[in-house]
Amino acid sequence: MKKFRSLALLMIAALAVSMLAPTAVSAASEPGYVYDFYYEEDLEDVYVITSLYCCEAGWEDHALKIVAVDAGELGDTNFYINSIADGDMEASDYPYMAFSVKNPTDATEFEGHFGTNLHPISGSTVFHADIEPNMTEYKTFIVNMPQSNHDNVNRINAPGGLSDQEGATANMVAEMEDGESFWEGTVTTMRFDSIYRSGRSGEAQDGDTMYIAWMAFFETEEDAKNYKGPEHSSERTPEPTRDPSTIDMKPFNLLVFDTEDYDDFFNPTSQISEIYFDDEKKCYSIDVMSGIDPNVELLFDMFLDEEVPCDEYKILQFAARVNTAEGNKSGSFYYSTDKHGGYNEPQNIIYNYATTDEIQVVNIDLSRAAAWSGTALKCRFDMFTSCNEDTTFDLYYMAFFSNKDAADAFAAEYAEKGRDAFPAKPTKAPTAAPTEKPTEAPATAVSATDALKVTDAPKTTGEAGNETKETAKKDNKWLVPVVIGAVVVAAAVAAAVIVASKKKKK
């Protein structure tokens, strides 16, 4: 009896010790990156949707809503979302993508393309995921990115695939060998075609709708299965409105292109036929050729009065007149700094234009670019991600700002005053002849427009004032205040370099 009692006591003691001992728990890995469309404002501030083709994007039911329009026979709906924000997600580390969608259509597949620093978006970077049709609720699906890429390149775009059929016009890509995949390198871009029924382009139909709640990338399939989606414990508290008197409106390194002194600021690099100063419009005009990725290099380091410290100036603003029907509704900005040279995909911001014939103001938000650090040197300005037909892009000014409030305030002032919104540069007194009394500087500063004409003699106070009033009246007739936010996104394809001539039109 004592033996049984002793054994029982030992078992109870062992159980107590095991309960007190630390237990090893397998913690699920955090996703490498998450697209979360729960908040409507994020579609503008974080996930700007760009390059929409045969579809429209909106926000509904705490999700991104995609609707097919003008889909045509092929039904190749697609759009781009901003690039991986931190620019450091290695594809090989995160081979699984989980996503939550509601699919009311009869489509049974979700299609997309990816871009990395090794492989830009193309027919070789396609992936597909099986989804359920006729859904009334959100469900989560998981796709093995490298495996799906391998399988669908051969199924759709390789010789013998769906694109290699009679009447097809898509370019074929090389067939992938066993185990081969382009899901490698640093992920920079995602394109989502979403609705896919069949064929080489998906065959989406007008009115087809899909809702995307979130997408996330994981190290293992188990982590993807265990993920329940982003947490939203409460609604966001709106940021308090700042006192306008505390906003520093002053633009930094303002470049006003209303004189012919900036010919050497523009270095045409691709799909540009001419760059010239237009004396009638008082701006620089860029004649853009149709095609992929037209761009010019802007030589900031040669023209700015002061160096641009990236950590202090996060907003680049410009005013332009854009024909989005001839050009496109989005452009791209690549930058080079003393810490991050070249024009790599992570050093890229895609921004949107408004559809208007008037001058519009665009803000490029560089605060969301991880590589915007050090001192800015130059940039590659892709005024369109692609250009539908030959068009002209008119550029009026560029300036850096320390914050969005300052940029928005200056844009509003420019909308009201036109060129009178530009601060006047100090006018120096002319150098006196040795035997003459020095000429005094004008008592009143010259208007901004005339102050920037460095080859002109200073006007009198009366002349400058009259011209300023007339200019302001004229400016306000054609100016529409449209401020567009921009976020991190990239979609760049190499284009042939065009040697462009520069001339002046007056």
pLDDT of amino acid 87 = 54
pLDDT of amino acid 91 = 94
Range of the domain at 416: 249-420+481-502
The widest CA-to-CA distance across the chain, in whole angstroms, is: 128
Token readout for 198 is 């069949």
How many Cβ atoms from other residues are within 10 Å of residue 261's Cβ?
14
The answer to the question of residue 464 being in a domain is no
pTM above 0.75, yes or no: no
The answer to the question of residue 460 being in a domain is no
489 touches 82 (CB < 8 A): yes
pLDDT of amino acid 135 = 94
Same domain, 186 and 322: no
The answer to the question of residue 196 being in a domain is yes
pLDDT of amino acid 383 = 93
Same domain, 222 and 262: no
The answer to the question of residue 135 being in a domain is yes
Same domain, 72 and 219: yes
CATH number at residue 378: 2.60.120.260
pLDDT of amino acid 249 = 66
The answer to the question of residue 271 being in a domain is yes
Q: What is the DSSP string of 78-116?
A: EEEEPPPTTS--BGGG--EEEEEEE--SS--EEEEEEEE
The answer to the question of residue 472 being in a domain is no
Closest to 297 (Cα-Cα) out of 383, 193, 202: 383
315 touches 400 (CB < 8 A): yes
Domain boundary among 167, 191, 226: 226
Which single residue is written with the structure tokens 């026979």? 73
Count up the domains in the chain and report the number: 2
Mean pLDDT per segment of 10 residues, for the chain of length 506 residues? Answer: 51 48 49 90 74 83 89 72 65 96 93 86 87 95 95 72 48 71 88 79 83 96 94 67 62 92 93 96 96 90 85 93 90 86 72 90 82 86 91 96 91 92 62 47 35 32 40 41 43 32 43
Q: How many whole angstroms separate alpha carbon 380 and alpha carbon 296?
A: 6
pLDDT, one tens digit per residue, over 411-469 is 999 999 998 989 876 544 444 444 444 444 443 333 333 332 222 333 333 343 444 43
Map 178-209 to HEC letters.
Answer: CCCCCCCCEEEEEEEEEEECECCCECCCCCCE
CATH number at residue 49: 2.60.120.430
pLDDT of amino acid 196 = 82
Same domain, 222 and 309: no
- The DSSP call for residue 75 is T
- The alpha carbon of residue 281 and the mean position of all alpha carbons in its chain are separated, in whole angstroms, by 28
Same domain, 255 and 148: no
Same domain, 209 and 291: no
Same domain, 183 and 73: yes
Same domain, 323 and 199: no
Q: What is the dihedral of CA 240, 245, 246, 250, to 10 degrees?
A: 120
The answer to the question of residue 475 being in a domain is no
Same domain, 331 and 393: yes
Same domain, 90 and 220: yes
Same domain, 209 and 296: no
The answer to the question of residue 238 being in a domain is no
Residue 142 burial (CB < 10 Å; 0-12/13-18/19+)? middle
Same domain, 185 and 222: yes
Token readout for 506 is 């007056």
Between CA 20 and CA 26, with CA 21 as vertex, the angle to 5 degrees is: 125
